[in-house]
Amino acid sequence: MNPAPSSSATDAAPVLQAAGLRKSFLSGEGSIEVLRGVDLSVMAGESVSVRGESGCGKSTLLNLLSGLDTPDAGTLTWAGHPPRGDRRAAFLGMVFQSFYLIPELNALDNVLMAARMLKPPGAAERARAADLLARVGLAPRATHLSTQLSGGERQRVAVARALMNSPQLLLADEPTGNLDERTGDAVIELLLELCRETRTALVLVTHNAVHAGKTSRHLSLHNGVFQ
């Protein structure tokens, strides 16, 4: 298990660089140290899977990498710069287990919600959203409400939304957890293919050993560190 990128990718700066990340949470009268010095470096176009038992800190790690939470100690950089909230929508996309689509919006407008984080979407943004939906195989479903879509279709909309702003980094937290095996396999294949094509760095948290095996690097989180 190697938290560093492969030698073939070391000629450029990492998209994501974490060093010595630590995070504790209060529990009763004491605290529990969930992460105890995590190091991680991810290059453009690289896919990294993170596995570990429930409660080992995988989601906590993604919250730190996304800048949604702050580590107690350690450093984090996005493409060589400290993370900032006003850069998040342009720098990274996120895919979750529960989709988090807006039920009142159709598939196209759900994808466009990511663009709205940067500016009011115009014709170019609508064309990109439509193109992404076509790329994930949902062009005929663009005007359907999210409630009219299957679980696999909702997750593909979520993948398109995550890629809407051409992010440098994609974080995926158990993206197949609510899907059947066949649909989950298809979503993972699509996710990896799109990240390779766009050279988007991917950090995938998953319990699924088969899915983890498809990434270019595989890490295991145990007792708060990579092993």
Instruction: Please tell us whether the domain made up of 47-67+85-226 is placed in CATH 3.40.50.12780.
Output: no
Note the pTM of the prediction, 2 decimals: 0.92
CA 3 from chain center: how many Å?
17
What's the Rg (C-alpha) of the chain?
17
d(CA 153, CA 157): 6
What is the rounded average pLDDT of the residues 180-193?
Answer: 94
Let me know the angle formed at the C-alpha of 15 by 88 and 91, rounded to the nearest 5 degrees.
20
Amino acid of residue 29: E
pLDDT in tens, 55-111: 889 999 999 999 999 999 999 999 999 999 999 999 999 999 999 999 999 999 999
pLDDT in tens, 2-38: 676 654 444 578 999 999 999 999 887 788 999 999 9
d(CA 210, CA 92): 25
Per-residue tokens: 76: 């984090």
d(CA 194, CA 166): 11
